[in-house]
C-alpha cells in the first residue's frame, strides 16, 4: 500500500515564532541609533521626523502607522501632518474636530498634556475612526504621546498604531516617549524659525508683507514669454493721510491703516499679495491678472477704502500697470509709481494707468 507522505502547505509551515517584546524593543532602538546620522544630516526638522517614523514602521511589521501633529494648543481641528506606515490611508483621511465628545477623547486630551496613553482598539470601539482602523487596517493597540514645546502656546502629539493586542504595554512607552521629546525639540526649532521668517517678511502693524518679501513675489510675477499669463501690480497711496496723524494722533492713524489693510485683504483673491510699501503706501501684486482685470480690482479697492470712515472718511489714489514679459518687479513698480503720481496730481481718489 502506498501512503501520501506530502503534507498540506499549512502543515508544512513552521509554527509562528513567539513574540519577544524585549527583542522587538531592541530592534527599534538599534534602528534609531544606526539611522540617526543619516536622518539628521542636511535635513529639515519635519524631514527628520518623517524619516524616523518611516524607519520605525520598516523595522517592525507590528507598527502599522506612526503620525504626528504640532501647532497651537487651542486648535479646533487636528489632521496628521507627518505620517508613515502601511496604514497611511487612514492618516490621510483622519480629521478630528474639537467638540464635547472629542474634547475628552484621546487626541485632544493628549494635546492638552495628558501623559502617554495606550488604548485597545477593536471594531466595537466607541470612537468611530478606531472602528475603521480595526476593520480596514487590523489595528488593535494605539499609543498616544504628548509633544511638549517651549514655543509659546504650541504643543502636539505622536501617535502609533500596532496590529497586536497589548503591543505597547509589552514594549513599554519609554523609547517612544524619548522620541516624543526629540520631536518636541525639532518642532520647536521649526516653529521658531517660521516665526522669525514671518517677522522678517511682515509688517508688525498691519500683518501685511513688507518690502523684504519683494524678491519672493518677483519670482511669481516674472515671465519670460509673451505667451505666459500676464500679471499686474497696483500702487496705492492714502490721500491726505498726514493730516489724520496731525489732527487725531498716531494711534488713530495706526487704527486707520489697520482698517485699510483689512479692507484690502478681504477684497483680494487667495494668491494675491499685499505689501505695506511704507507709511500709507501699499503695493498689490496680482499674479496672472491682465491689466483690464486689474483695473476692475483697483476700482473695487478704491471703493472699499472709501468705506473706512474712522477717524474720518478716507480715500486712496491708485496707479496700475501690467508686468511686461522679461520685466522684473522693480521695473514695473517704477511704472506703477508714475501712474500713481498722475492719479495724485489729477485730483486723487482715482485709478490711473501708466502710458
d(CA 145, CA 294): 50
Helix (H, G, I), strand (E, B) or coil at 179: helix
Residue with cell 524619516: 51
Tens digits of per-residue pLDDT, 254-299?
A: 999 999 999 999 999 988 999 999 999 999 999 999 999 999 999 9
Q: Within the chain, what is the greatest distance between any pair of CA atoms?
A: 117
Q: Nearest to residue 179, comparing CAs of 87, 50, 85?
A: 50
Q: All domains of the chain, ordered by start, with CATH?
A: 19-200 (3.30.450.40), 211-353 (3.30.70.270)
- What does the pLDDT average to over 228-242? 94
Least confident of 194-208, 242-256, 316-330, 334-348: 194-208
Which DSSP letter does residue 316 get? Answer: E
Q: What is the mean pLDDT of residues 226-252?
A: 92
CA 75/CA 110 separation, integer angstroms: 13
Q: Report which DSSP code applies to 163.
A: S
Residue 1 has pLDDT above 50, yes or no: no
Compute the half-sphere exposure of residue 145: CA atoms within 13 Å on the CB side of its CA. 23
114-168 tens-digit pLDDT: 999 999 999 998 888 899 999 999 999 999 999 998 888 899 999 999 999 999 9
Helix, strand, or coil (residue 277): strand
Of 136, 280, 312, 322, the active-site residue reads 280
- Residue 59 corresponds to which cell in the numbers above? 523595522
| DSSP symbols for 44-94 | -HHHHHHHHHHHHHHH-SSEEEEEEEEEETT-SEE--SEEESTTHHHHHH-
pLDDT, tens digit, 9 for 90 and up, residues 298-340: 999 999 999 999 999 999 999 999 998 888 889 999 999 999 9
Helices and strands counted in the chain (H then E):
13, 12
**Catalytic site includes residue 312:** no
Task: Determine the pLDDT at residue 15.
Answer: 57
8 Å CB contact between 306 and 314: yes
Q: What is the mean pLDDT of the chain?
A: 89
Position 10 pLDDT exceeds 50: no
64 and 85 Cβ atoms separated by less than 8 Å: yes
pLDDT, position 213: 87
What does the alpha-carbon distance between residue 167 and residue 38 come to, in Å, rounded to a whole number?
28
Is the predicted pLDDT of residue 33 greater than 90, yes or no? Answer: no
CA–CA dist 63, 72 (Å, integer) = 28
Amino acid at each position: 500500500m502506498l501512503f501520501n507522505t506530502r503534507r498540506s502547505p499549512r502543515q508544512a509551515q513552521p509554527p509562528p515564532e513567539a513574540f519577544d517584546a524585549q527583542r522587538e524593543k531592541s530592534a527599534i532602538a538599534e534602528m534609531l541609533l544606526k539611522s540617526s546620522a543619516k536622518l539628521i544630516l542636511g535635513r529639515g526638522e519635519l524631514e527628520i521626523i518623517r524619516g524616523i517614523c518611516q524607519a520605525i514602521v520598516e523595522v517592525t511589521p507590528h507598527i502599522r502607522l506612526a503620525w504626528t501633529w504640532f501647532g497651537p494648543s487651542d486648535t479646533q481641528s487636528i489632521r496628521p501632518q507627518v505620517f508613515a506606515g502601511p496604514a497611511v490611508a487612514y492618516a490621510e483621511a483622519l480629521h478630528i474636530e474639537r467638540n464635547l465628545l472629542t474634547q475628552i477623547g484621546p487626541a485632544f486630551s493628549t494635546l492638552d498634556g495628558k501623559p502617554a496613553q495606550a488604548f485597545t482598539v477593536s471594531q466595537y470601539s466607541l470612537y468611530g475612526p478606531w472602528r475603521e482602523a480595526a476593520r480596514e487596517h487590523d489595528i488593535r493597540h494605539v499609543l498616544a504621546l504628548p509633544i511638549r514645546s517651549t514655543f509659546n502656546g504650541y504643543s502636539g502629539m505622536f501617535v502609533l498604531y500596532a496590529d497586536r493586542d497589548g503591543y505597547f504595554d509589552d514594549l513599554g512607552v519609554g523609547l517612544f516617549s524619548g522620541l516624543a521629546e526629540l520631536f518636541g525639540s525639532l518642532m520647536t526649532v521649526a516653529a521658531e524659525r517660521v516665526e522669525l521668517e514671518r517677522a522678517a517678511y511682515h509688517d508688525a502693524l498691519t500683518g501685511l508683507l513688507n518690502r523684504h518679501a519683494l524678491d519672493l513675489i518677483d519670482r511669481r510675477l516674472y515671465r519670460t514669454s509673451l505667451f505666459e499669463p500676464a500679471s499686474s501690480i497696483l500702487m496705492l497711496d492714502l490721500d491726505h493721510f498726514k493730516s489724520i496723524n496731525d489732527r487725531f494722533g498716531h494711534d488713530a492713524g495706526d487704527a486707520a491703516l489697520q482698517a485699510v489693510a483689512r479692507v484690502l485683504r478681504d477684497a483680494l483673491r487667495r494668491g494675491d499679495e499685499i505689501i505695506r510699501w511704507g507709511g500709507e503706501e501699499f503695493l498689490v501684486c496680482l499674479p496672472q491678472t491682465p491689466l483690464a482685470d486689474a483695473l476692475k480690482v483697483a476700482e473695487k479697492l478704491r471703493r472699499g477704502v472709501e468705506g473706512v470712515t474712522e477717524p474720518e472718511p478716507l480715500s486712496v489714489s491708485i496707479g496700475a500697470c501690467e508686468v511686461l514679459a522679461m520685466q522684473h518687479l522693480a521695473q514695473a513698480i517704477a511704472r506703477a509709481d508714475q501712474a500713481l503720481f498722475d492719479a495724485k496730481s489729477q485730483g486723487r481718489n482715482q485709478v490711473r494707468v501708466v502710458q
